[in-house]
Structure 1
């Protein structure tokens, strides 16, 4: 297996792909067996997809908040940087497919998974790894659709597509189509091992309650009280209430997510995080993840220091589980976390590069993170960080 990454800030997608092809040395190495492109939403996705499709049959594309990062540094200055992650692995198998989510997100993900397996020439088999890029909003349904093909214990990792300003300008593309509300599924059968770490940089404050009323991603009551009032109190008033209409609380809530314990890892509780987005006059909160009645919810607290340090710790953990040094890695870093510590993201890049021993890696900034930790099942969370490292 060989892995290489590249960046381009070229304004035109054709020029950007020429830069990337040259940096990846495709003329010498041949077309990659797998090619992932993640990029700022200022890049026209349809044109980029058309320019990229000749370079790999297993093509996976999705927008990333503001841009990307890699061992070459941070690419978020213009909102239009493009990052490429390429694998050459003749002994492995790789396939990608995309679908519009439509009315049934689970069915769309199921069909995309079947198409990706067929493209890899591994129909009917369970892939060791699924790399996922869904549109934000129905990620739990997407995961369910993938699992209907791969089984409940499949290793699924990825990040929801994002835009530069939370206005819905995200996009996804596969080998044959581009979407605004779709999903890209890639199945990876690498010839070497890989390891995954999936964590959040937050700790519980001790405040906790039971979800007593919820509608999808609208949290209405905690302990039979208006959710926004409970949350406002738990954060000591840091996150405001709605006053004269719906109020965006995305920035204020970034360091104050809500968490659920989904499993224990070595005796330590693993909290899956949800990012509150909007407070409403009726006392409800809009979230970026699903809750259910009966869930115990915990108030979590983070800091800029914890968000900066966690990324390298996640990479260290992934590498520790590899049987050989890393050949390369894919990193997912929550877009909300990136915006909260934007002035320190060069430090984040340096920490990941050091943790990976200089191996090539590509990082994207997502509006939702999919992954698994400590032998549990794959899940969707917010304000999370993951590293998927491939062995040489």
Structure 2
């Protein structure tokens, strides 16, 4: 297996795309798979076209994210490209629309297409992060493909404008879709984690509507959230919400994080991702060192399954960067040291992360998803 990465921060789309892909393919001709991550500041079709012109018959998987993770740090405006070539590498991609109308059905269709040629492998899922019910998309893919596959990925987005984002494969470029691929052949390790810990008392989510929590424990959602954190005011919610997400526990003691981002005049709490009525949840807490240490641990877990790592793919929640600010550099440093600083790495800031603690993949917030690919 050969792999390399290339990046560009040039402003003109075609020049930026050309610089990134030429850097990535300097030692790799005719890649089998090309990853393309962009940011919102570009006209996406021009970037896409510039990459397609250079990669021949390579399959392509990519999206627009909240920032590009490069070896030098975060590129808020930039393009990142990763290329893979290997005798054993087999890839199938799909670009499926319809997430807005019927997310579960769209996930099932994508999964059925991916599964046609493979009985096992690693599935990379890149759904539009702005559509509702993304958990249903992930569930649909899993229902179609089953437990013989590993799943990872992240929600596509922008630089927090929450307006429009894009997904692409070698087939086309779309919005409101899921771009996905299944990889088979090489050794691949995946891992996921966040570093958040529960406070003592649980909560019951008693009423929801879309991405809003209306009631917790039968009372207005913000009232309970505020009381548990020492009677915070509405004006303090933004600060406390960033530091205290909600966590849903599973039977093994793992927590799926839900990110609260706003509270309205009716004291409803807006989330990045839906929660089900009846969910038992906890207010979570952490400190910067725990978040950084966990990111390194996630990378080590993915790395230990791959004796000779050749490439790493990273999806890290954009809200972690907002919370950690300059200390986010330490998180990236911890990840790179855990994988190996000579291993090419490409990543993006995502709007939700996809992965599993056991077999079934879930949609997470404020989390790190890492994949390491070897021979």
TM-score scaled by length of structure 1: 0.88
Relative to structure 1, is the Cα distance of residues 304 and 380 closer, same or farther in structure 2, using a 3 angstrom cutoff?
A: same
For 1:228, what is the secondary structure of its paired residue? helix
For 1:343, what is the secondary structure of its paired residue? helix
Report the equivalent of 1:216.
Answer: 210
Report the equivalent of 1:367.
Answer: 351
Report the equivalent of 1:298.
Answer: 282
The answer on 1:352 being equivalent to 2:335 is yes
Report the equivalent of 2:60.
Answer: 59
For 1:341, what is the secondary structure of its paired residue? helix
Report the equivalent of 2:106.
Answer: 108
Query: How far apart are residue 281 of structure 1 and its match?
Result: 2.2
Report the equivalent of 2:149.
Answer: 154
Report the equivalent of 2:248.
Answer: 260
Report the equivalent of 2:18.
Answer: 18
The 5-angstrom pairing of residues 243-254 of structure 1 reads 252-254=240-242
Relative to structure 1, is the Cα distance of residues 125 and 95 closer, same or farther in structure 2, using a 3 angstrom cutoff?
A: closer
Query: How far apart are residue 251 of structure 1 and its match?
Result: 5.4
Q: Is the 8 A contact 1:329 1:360 kept in 2?
A: yes
For 2:87, what is the secondary structure of its paired residue? coil
Query: How far apart are residue 368 of structure 1 and its match?
Result: 0.5
Q: How far apart in 2 are the matches of 1:275 and 1:64?
A: 18
For 2:319, what is the secondary structure of its paired residue? helix
Q: Is the 8 A contact 2:21 2:81 kept in 1?
A: no
Report the equivalent of 2:86.
Answer: 89
Query: How far apart are residue 129 of structure 1 and its match?
Result: 0.9
The answer on 1:330 being equivalent to 2:338 is no
Relative to structure 1, is the Cα distance of residues 329 and 253 closer, same or farther in structure 2, using a 3 angstrom cutoff?
A: same
For 1:107, what is the secondary structure of its paired residue? helix
Report the equivalent of 1:275.
Answer: 259
Report the equivalent of 1:74.
Answer: 73
Q: How far apart in 1 are the matches of 2:291 and 2:164?
A: 26
Q: How far apart in 2 are the matches of 1:48 and 1:106?
A: 30
Report the equivalent of 2:32.
Answer: 33
Q: Is the 8 A contact 2:6 2:22 kept in 1?
A: no
The 5-angstrom pairing of residues 186-225 of structure 1 reads 186-189=181-184, 191-225=185-219
Report the equivalent of 1:241.
Answer: 234
For 2:107, what is the secondary structure of its paired residue? helix
Report the equivalent of 1:178.
Answer: 173
The answer on 1:309 being equivalent to 2:266 is no
Q: Is the 8 A contact 2:25 2:83 kept in 1?
A: no
Q: Is the 8 A contact 1:73 1:349 kept in 2?
A: no
Q: Is the 8 A contact 1:169 1:180 kept in 2?
A: yes
Query: How far apart are residue 279 of structure 1 and its match?
Result: 0.9
Q: How far apart in 2 are the matches of 1:39 and 1:353?
A: 21
Query: Which of 339, 358, 378 matches 2:322?
Result: 339
TM-score scaled by length of structure 2: 0.91
Q: Is the 8 A contact 1:113 1:186 kept in 2?
A: no
Q: How far apart in 2 are the matches of 1:153 and 1:220?
A: 38
Q: What is the number of residues matched between the two proteins?
A: 369
Report the equivalent of 1:164.
Answer: 159
Query: How far apart are residue 81 of structure 1 and its match?
Result: 1.1
Query: How far apart are residue 201 of structure 1 and its match?
Result: 1.8
Unmatched 5+ residue regions in structure 2? none
Cα deviations across residues 231-270 of structure 1 (Å, max 9, x unaligned)?
Answer: 12223345x437xxxx9x5554122100011241xxxx11
Q: How far apart in 2 are the matches of 1:182 and 1:197?
A: 25
Relative to structure 1, is the Cα distance of residues 107 and 57 closer, same or farther in structure 2, using a 3 angstrom cutoff?
A: farther
Cα deviations across residues 220-241 of structure 1 (Å, max 9, x unaligned)?
Answer: 1111111111112223345x43
Relative to structure 1, is the Cα distance of residues 2 and 250 closer, same or farther in structure 2, using a 3 angstrom cutoff?
A: farther
